[in-house]
Amino acid sequence: MGMGNNKPPIVEIAHLSKSYRRGSQTIPVLEDITFDIADGEFLALMGPSGSGKSTLLNLIAGIDKADRGTIRVGGVDITTLSDKELATWRSANVGFIFQFYNLMPVLTAFENVELPLLLTDLSRSERREHVELALQLVGLTDRVDHYPAQLSGGQQQRVAIARAVVSDPAILVADEPTGDLDRVSAGEILQLMDRLVREFDKTIIMVTHDPRAAEKARIIRHLEKGILTDIDGQPASPVAGS
Amino acid sequence: MAIPFSYSMRNLWTRRLTTVLTASGMALVVFVFAATLMLAEGLRKTLVETGSYDNVVVIRKSANSEVMSGVDRAQTSAIESQPEIARGSDGRLLLAKELVVLINIPKRESNKPANVVIRGISPASLLLRPQVRLTEGRMPRPGSAEVIAGTSIARRFKGGGLGETLRFGMRDWTVVGIFDAGTTGFSSEIWGDVDQLMQAFRRPVYSSVTFKLRDPAAFEQFKHRVESDPRLTVEAKRETRYYEDQSEAMAKFLRIMGITLTVIFSLGAVIGAMITMYAAVANRVVEIGTLRALGFQKMSILAAFVIESLLLGLLGGVVGLSGASFMQLITISTMNWQTFSELAFTFTLTLDILWKSLLFSVGMGFVGGVLPAFRAARMNIVEALRSS
């Protein structure tokens, strides 16, 4: 685990547990997870289906609620926030990258990227500036007025990445970002994510099945049956990346 | 800040077919809604415009209309002597003793007979009704079997045209003139010399006395005096009020029937809108989850879907209203049950009906959209995202 940087942690997770109810049964998904993610880290979460890696990602991103434990992101314990506060918190602090891009089909690339900025106080011209910058970053300045259906998978994912970074959030969460892409496009997306970490100091937490994707990450964590391990299959130490 | 308006707009455009079909359902309801209100309004307007505010109609007490009324010569003389009656420039009283009789004559198209009002007029009759203009021919000569016909009669009844002959009262009457009374009820009448017509119909009494007030405010004073005069068995009404009373029963019936019908129809349209909106929500579960993840509040999602449904309703309303506005080109003739005579009137679109119809359509959209919108707003983000 020595590849991490020496910056303070941006995500601190302590004794996190989560279970789902199916009928009368309670199925534990995460059990007493404790670990930190350093600022500017590129972390890959791996593990078999049902291991709870997406659940962990959702909890960190503030779209799911934990049963027990705390999640501090940038010093804020998000487990204590109400639904409304969480929504506001997400808009300012989290960028989402999904497996199937999740763009609004009726909005153009520009409008899709602009969406998160509608939740800010930016003026119309300021928003335009930010959107153009984000689209420039992902190399899609010539596709501004295209609708998602007019773009390839790789291009759509790049629009989604532009949308994730446009409001300059501290962390980016990516759930199988290359899962729906061919090898070449997947490579481009991973390179782009790598650049976001190296040049723009973003923290990326990525769930993936794809070993090639995981290779790009600086730290790989495995989840199995709700227990977090490091790459050697050993239970993780409380503070990772140190 | 809210989800952009264009998101709601373009989603409607994207599923054009469903949008058009759902909006058509609502358009039909709005059409019926607007059309019946227009019908009631047309009827009311036709009858109310027939009267003038400063004219007074005197009829026999408790006779609802001139047709049922009779005022004998002794009583008309007593009324003529009242001080409130205005005088014309020639010094004569602006007062008309008139006879109203119903006859039936066949229609041009169907040959079926229908009731028509024949009005025996005095020289002052035209002066009392400035909205009536002779457009063709001339006025009947006193003492001759001549009549003039309203434009609506001339067009729709056999023998009603200029130069044609009508047979009633056991005599033939020549139509020597056509008068235009706009959209008022007079357009559906035939006018002739009152003395000639009283002879022909063997009527010893007048039907009504109509006069112009010297001072429009003096009406109450006049009414009080004549109605408490023991020699007189009459009641006085302002002419506008007299004709409004005549339209009331029919207009009310039309309105109640129209509103009952549209309420029933609108249930269907609302359910249609609801199904459409539930389908729209179901098809966009992932989008909703994504918007929520990006930080849009539940209220924004709710608003976006309610707006979409309101737009759907508004579209239906605009289409239905524009359809209904074409109804203004149609003239309807129907039996006025209070006078038992044929009355021609048009569908009339007013600003009041316009906004009521639009409000109604938007209301349907709201009722249809609010439950699906709540479902969308309350969706669990993780489950919504997982359904991709």
Please write the tens of the pLDDT for every residue from A48-87: 888 889 999 999 999 999 999 999 999 999 999 999 999 9
Residues B316/B317/B319/B323 CA torsion (nearest 10 deg) = 130
Residues of B in contact with A98 (CB under 8 A): 290, 385, 388
Contacts of B173 (CB under 8 A, 6+ apart): B145, B146, B147, B165, B166, B167, B192
Contact assignment for B295 to A116 by CB distance below 8 Å:
yes
In order of B281, B285, B292, B297, B374, the CA distances from B378 in angstroms are 11, 11, 10, 10, 6
**Which pLDDT belongs to residue B1?**
56
Mean pLDDT computed over every residue of chain B: 89
| Mean predicted confidence (pLDDT) in B83-87 | 91
- B10 interfaces chain A, CB cutoff of 8 Å: yes
Residues of A in contact with B297 (CB under 8 A): 84, 87-88
- A115 interfaces chain B, CB cutoff of 8 Å: yes
CB B28 within 8 A of CB B265: yes
Report residue B98 as tokens. Answer: 């008139």
DSSP string of A116-131, one letter each residue: GGGGS---HHHHHHHH
Q: Which of A84, A92, A163 sits opposite B297 (nearest CB)?
A: A84
DSSP letter, residue B186: G
Tally Cβ neighbours within 10 Å of residue B223. 18
Q: Is the pLDDT of residue B380 over 60?
A: yes
CA distance B30 to B309: 16
Please tell me whether residue B154 adopts helix, strand or coil conformation.
helix
**Which pLDDT belongs to residue B131?**
85
Give the closest residue to A56 by CA, choosing from A203, A212, A225: A225
Strand partners, A35: A13
**Which pLDDT belongs to residue B376?**
95
Contact assignment for B385 to A83 by CB distance below 8 Å:
no
CB A53 within 8 A of CB A208: no
Query: What is the architecture of the domain spanning A9-229?
Result: 3-Layer(aba) Sandwich (3.40)
CB B187 within 8 A of CB B206: no
- B16 interfaces chain A, CB cutoff of 8 Å: no
In single-letter form, the type of residue at position B185 comes to G
The H or E element containing residue A197 is: helix A183-200
Please tell me whether residue B248 adopts helix, strand or coil conformation.
helix
- B231 interfaces chain A, CB cutoff of 8 Å: no
Residues of A in contact with B13 (CB under 8 A): 106
CA distance B124 to B88: 9
Q: pLDDT tens digits for B320-367?
A: 999 999 988 887 776 665 555 567 778 889 999 999 999 999 999 999
Please tell me whether residue B319 adopts helix, strand or coil conformation.
helix
Task: Estimate to the nearest angstrom the gap between the alpha carbon of A194 and the chain centroid.
Answer: 13
Structure confidence at residue A233 as a pLDDT band (50, 70, 90): very low
| Mean predicted confidence (pLDDT) in B225-254 | 86
Contact assignment for A104 to B296 by CB distance below 8 Å:
no
Structure confidence at residue A1 as a pLDDT band (50, 70, 90): very low
Contact assignment for A98 to B290 by CB distance below 8 Å:
yes
- B292 interfaces chain A, CB cutoff of 8 Å: yes
DSSP letter, residue B188: G
Contact assignment for A107 to B291 by CB distance below 8 Å:
no
Mean pLDDT computed over every residue of chain A: 89
Rg of chain A in Å (alpha carbons): 18
Q: Is the pLDDT of residue B37 over 50?
A: yes
Give the closest residue to A10 by CA, choosing from A93, A97, A120: A93
Q: Is the pLDDT of residue B237 over 70?
A: yes
Q: pLDDT tens digits for B104-124?
A: 899 888 889 888 899 999 989
CB pairs under 8 A between A and B: 74
β-strand pairing of A219-224 with A42-46:
parallel
Complex ipTM value = 0.91
In order of A241, B259, B280, B360, the CA distances from B26 in angstroms are 62, 15, 17, 10
Helices (H), chain B: 5-14, 16-50, 73-80, 125-128, 151-156, 194-200, 219-228, 239-283, 285-294, 298-326, 351-377, 381-386
Give the closest residue to B368 by CA, choosing from B282, B266, B265: B266
Secondary-structure breakdown of chain A: helix, strand, coil percentages, each rounded to the nearest 5: 40, 25, 35
Q: Is the pLDDT of residue A231 over 70?
A: no
Report the predicted TM-score, pTM, of the whole model to 2 decimal places.
Answer: 0.78
**Which pLDDT belongs to residue A240?**
42
In order of B19, B21, B105, the CA distances from B16 in angstroms are 5, 8, 53
**Which pLDDT belongs to residue B336?**
64
Structure confidence at residue A238 as a pLDDT band (50, 70, 90): very low
Q: Which of B3, B298, B382 sits opposite A58 (nearest CB)?
A: B382
Q: Is the pLDDT of residue B42 over 90?
A: no
DSSP letter, residue A2: T
Structure confidence at residue A204 as a pLDDT band (50, 70, 90): very high
CA distance A110 to A142: 11
| Mean predicted confidence (pLDDT) in A104-108 | 95
**Which pLDDT belongs to residue A2?**
42
CA distance B177 to B154: 10
Tally Cβ neighbours within 10 Å of residue B75. 21
Residues of B in contact with A116 (CB under 8 A): 294-295
CA distance A170 to B195: 100
**Which pLDDT belongs to residue A5?**
58
User: Which of A49, A56, A63 best probes binding to B when mutated, by most B CB atoms within 10 angstroms?
Assistant: A63
Q: pLDDT tens digits for B153-184?
A: 898 899 989 999 999 888 999 999 999 987 67
